[in-house]
Amino acid sequence: MSLNQSQEIQSDHSKHPVLIWASGLDQSHDFFNQAWLDFTESSVHENINAGWFQFIHPDDLPLFRLTYERALATQQPFQIEYRLKKHDGTYRWMQCHAVPRPDLDGDFSGLIATNTDIHDQLVKKSEQITYEENYELFLNCITEGIWDWIDVNSDEQWWSPHFYELLGYRDQELEASASTFKRLLHPDDLQGTLEAINQSLENEIPFGTAFRLRIKGGEYHWFRSTAKIIRDLNGNAVRMTGSISDIHRQILAEEALKETRRLAEQAQLEKETFLALMSQEVRTPLSAILGFSEILGESSDDPETQTVAETIHTNGQSLLDTINDFLDLSKLEEGMLDIEILDCCPVKVIENVHMHMAKKAELMDLKFDIASETEIPETIKSDPIRLKQILTTVIGTAIKLTKKGSVKLGVKTTAMANGTHQLTFRITNTGTELSLEQFSDLFTPYRLTDELMTHPVSGLGLGLAVSKHLTELLGGQIQVTDQDTSSTTVEISIPVGDISEVKMEKVSASKRLEEIKTYKASHDFLKQNCHILLVEDGIYNQRLINFLLTKAGAEITIVENGQHAIDELMKSREVGDPIGDPYDLILMDIQMPVLDGYSTTRKIRALGYTKPIIALTIHAMDSDRQKCFDAGCDEYMSKPLERKKLISIINSFLRKPQKQNLVAKEA
């Protein structure tokens, strides 16, 4: 077959025709098949001699020419890959395979070459290489190690290089197998981990578990592994592929956090225990000290005795205030201090504060006045107990810090832009000898400067810090607003809601004084004759309560623990009367030997006693109050007992119909 009549030669693996050229000894080219001419869309004339080189990619031409010329010189075949320009301007990869071209005598006369289009094959191969490179890059970049149990019925596995790295080994330094994995597992984790794997293989349960593996060097580290299971058409597991991640630091951090939390909880428990113990150990004797000092002062006409009694009572009350401040601050820090917003009379709160603070100021030879700058609403929405506590603490501190002169309380009502109102209290005193910054520090707990620590007036700081928190809980603010050489002013602002429809009145000290005297007289005695069972183990509290209530008109029977109380109440049944029939009311101490107040109250209620039971306890936390109610008590009083409050509570129950709770809640 002559070259001029050659037909198109097709590649076995390509849809593209084979391009053919032939050359002579003088490197001239005298033949290009039609496929070449069609591919380049050129004529034979444009290709002969060196013209066809124009279609080879410029980057490939130098190597092609060198290879071609060397083959002519040595009369040897050659093979090379290069890019050939197509008629549309694109380049496609060709594989050139040239062999010697013999003449009629069999001598070398040049080269004849086939040029096969391999472009698609190279692109596919390039993409495959790119995928493999990307996959390897993926395996090297992720923090997890990859493992593949290709046949779950065999021991052989595949572990990625990073899997080995997590264990501290070089790639393939250990045999990747199920046996190796078992050998590396911590003995305590072996059974659980293998059971988790088997459960996933057999029951289609997702696999994900944490375990410890022995790393290079002998230490055990925590890892977590998850896996996907491939199953055959019958649902049988055939392959398991997953990842493993190092969670050792996370586990150690969690354990450290647990230990920190445990220590914090222990510290909190110790703090609560300390506060409860302090409350019990201090309140118990304080109850007797305050009670008997008050009795002593009221029963003696001797001025010196009255002064001594008042000194004892004042310092005892100061100690009690400090304990209460500690308890309140503890509740505030734990977010457990309750605020009860209800309708209350601010005038009564102010006048009640005046009654207590005027006496305190008088003992210091100071004058205490109230100045109402505007009319005060008859009712507001606030917490009257906390409002009284705030005012009493701030005014009490002002009295302590004032060497001479006076303390004044100014009150005014202010309308706010949103239609609500607020009460503003301005407490002004003379001669504090503290700078504005030092005075402001008094409202910050545990921030006593050297000047405050060495100040001749003790008991500064904690109560004001509590007052600041309470003011903020009520939605207001407290701050030192003014100070000059002669006075300091603290301003307290409390929101009181919309009072546009509320009746207004002025603070009247003289009018209130008469009401207080009447109130005081009415609360010195019980409204009716009554027989009270006092269950109390403390000898001094027995004497104090017995003295106060006997003087108020009650008959008192004393027992020293819960079991004796039950025995006493059961005596009435022996004569056919209801349990505890002779007694109108029980005062129940909570902390007692033999049988405590909670248990005693439950048993008494279970026996059918229906009359009032008032709990007496040294604990002052809200949770203790609720425990008393849950046990079946009708009311709760914390020690030290206030005489007027005790008599008032007893009077309120003596006037009530007997509808007490018969069933106590479960402990």
Which of 563, 541, 75, 64 is CA-nearest to residue 283? 541
Give the percent of the chain with pLDDT over 70: 82
Give the mean pLDDT of the chain: 81
As given in the structure block, the two tokens for residue 595 are: 């049988």
Q: Model-level pTM? A: 0.49
pLDDT value at 666 more than 60: no
- What pLDDT, on the 0 to 100 scale, is given for residue 9? 38
- Under the banding of pLDDT at 50, 70 and 90, the label for residue 176 is very high
Residue of higher predicted confidence among 420 and 325: 420
Please check the confidence at residue 229 and state whether its pLDDT lies above 60: yes
* Of residues 29 and 311, more confidently modeled: 311
Check pLDDT > 80 for residue 517. no
The domain defined by 142-246 carries CATH number 3.20.20.60: no
The domain covering 340-508 belongs, at the CATH homologous superfamily level, to Histidine kinase-like ATPase, C-terminal domain (3.30.565.10)
Long-range Cβ contacts of 202-210 (<8 Å, 24+ apart): 202/237, 204/229, 204/231, 204/235, 207/240, 207/242, 210/247, 210/251
Beta strands across the sheet bearing 29-32: 29-32, 19-23, 108-117, 91-102, 78-85
- Asked if the bond preceding 612 is cis, omega within 30° of 0, the reply is no
Alpha helix (H) residue ranges in 334-377:
346-363
**HSE of 284 in the Cβ direction (CA atoms, 13 Å)?**
15
Count of beta carbons in the 10 Å neighbourhood of residue 390? 27
In tens, the pLDDT along 355-378 reads 878 878 887 888 888 888 888 888
Residues 102-144 have pLDDT tens digits of 887 888 888 889 999 988 888 777 665 555 555 555 555 566 7
Contacts 24+ apart (CB under 8 A), 566-572: 566/595, 566/600, 566/603, 566/604, 566/607, 568/533, 569/533, 569/604, 569/607, 569/609, 570/607
Confidence band, pLDDT 50/70/90 cuts, at residue 393: confident
- The whole-angstrom separation of Cα 544 and Cα 534 is 11
Higher pLDDT, 416 or 257: 257
Angle at 649 between CA 629 and CA 306, to 5 degrees: 125
Residue 651 to residue 408: CA distance in whole angstroms: 36
The CATH number given to 19-124 is 3.30.450.20
For position 223, what pLDDT does the model report? 94
Summarize pLDDT for 394-453 with one digit per residue, the tens: 888 888 888 888 889 989 888 887 778 888 999 888 866 565 566 666 666 554 444 444
d(CA 328, CA 334): 10
H or E element in which residue 231 lies:
strand 220-231
Topology adopted by domain 523-654 = Rossmann fold (3.40.50)
pLDDT, tens digit, 9 for 90 and up, residues 569-601? 999 888 888 888 899 999 999 888 888 899 999
Determine the average pLDDT of the residues in 50-60.
89
Q: 392 CB contacts (<8 Å, ≥6 apart)?
A: 353, 356, 357
Per-residue pLDDT for 454 more than 60?
A: no
- The more confident residue out of 487 and 594 is 594
